[in-house]
Chain A
Amino acid sequence: MQIPHSTIALVTILGMALVTYITRISGLWLMKFVTPSPRITVWLRSIPGAVLVALVAPTLVSDSLVTIPATLATILIMVRTKNVVLALIAGVGTIWLFRAIIHWV
């Protein structure tokens, strides 16, 4: 029997919700027994950045060469403006521009 996609999606979201709620309440509860060491603190704080790097790195090396200028444009605008929307527009716009040029050449 095939489980419908919508059921699997719902289970995924409920699972995400459950583990997230557990992380929200466990820190306070654990404090009754232990305090986090500085090294654990550094570790937990550095996870989100490392996960995001792991998420984009394979895409950046395997996709077409166009992603390189687009990535650089995104970084440049983010550094200059600190605005995610503008950085997003810069990156997507660069991809669009390069594809348009390649298409017309």
Chain B
Amino acid sequence: MDEPVRFTFAGALAGVRRTVPLALSDLAVGIIFGALAHQAGVSLLEALLMSSLVYAGSAQFVAVSLWTMPLPVVAIIVTTLVVNARYLLLGAALYPWFARLSPLKVYGSFFLLADENWALTIHEFEQGKRDAAFLVGSGLLLFISWGSTTLIGYLAGAIIQDPAQWGLDFAFTAVFVALLTSMWKGKTNLLPWLVAAIVAIAAAHWLPGTWYVLAGGLAGSIVGALTHADPS
């Protein structure tokens, strides 16, 4: 930890190389996002702006599923904030290595902070490597592939004329159910998810617009934190 932290081109290049397998396995997710964005009535420019300026998978899927006319602007922004609140933890975990870099390097690099490059960077640091530009190289590859697969998916989605005819109106639900299946960690999820579902169903009845997503999400996650057996 006392060894100085570097920030070099070679480090960034190492980040790019180490991220290739992960970027390849993520390609399909970007394509699905692009196709769903098209189905939701998001314009191509808007989809590309979202993937490059927001650049956060789960939050973008949620936003696009809430994309109705008139746009629930505040609900989408607040839900995005809540879904991405976990980035606070990722940033905090990088503190020991990034605290001593210049603000420009830190706040520039952190635009590209995502779950994947965070995990790879932490792994590098734990191996004793000391090049913080790894995060940037890794993030840049993910950024470029997220943007380009959004474009490919959007154009592919535009070919399909009548999505409901092919059952594609179920695509949003299917993607979320699939993501949830991969997030399932066993019994600890049962009560929080049940609470999230019940609160969301009730709130969908009583609250206007799309606030039920936030209500259920907050209720479920708070129950998760409160009932977690051993938070250490």
Contacts and interface: CB of A to CB of B under 8 A. Distances in A.
Interface of A: 5-6, 8-17, 19-32, 35-62, 67, 70-71, 74-75, 78-79, 82, 84-85, 87-88, 90-97, 99
**Main SS at interface, chain B:** helix
8 residue pairs, one from A and one from B, having the closest CB atoms: A54-B216, A27-B91, A50-B220, A95-B167, A91-B174, A51-B217, A43-B225, A96-B167
B54 A36 contact: no
A13 B54 contact: yes
Contacts of B110: 21, 24-25, 28
Given A17-B53, A56-B177, 19 more contacts: A6-B43, A9-B71, A11-B73, A12-B73, A20-B54, A20-B56, A20-B80, A20-B81, A42-B225, A46-B192, A47-B82, A49-B196, A51-B196, A54-B197, A57-B198, A67-B170, A70-B173, A82-B182, A88-B174
B29 interface: yes
Interface in B58-105: 58-59, 62-63, 65, 69-71, 73, 76-77, 79-95, 98-99
Interface string B180-222: 1111000001001100111111001000000011111111111
B83 A48 contact: yes
Classify the secondary structure of A's interface with B.
Answer: helix
B221 A23 contact: no
B13 interface: no
B73 to A, nearest CB: 5
A52 B170 contact: no
B98 A28 contact: yes
Contacts of B76: 12, 15-16
B176 interface: yes
A29 B81 CA distance: 17
Nearest to A3: B70
A88 B43 CA distance: 23
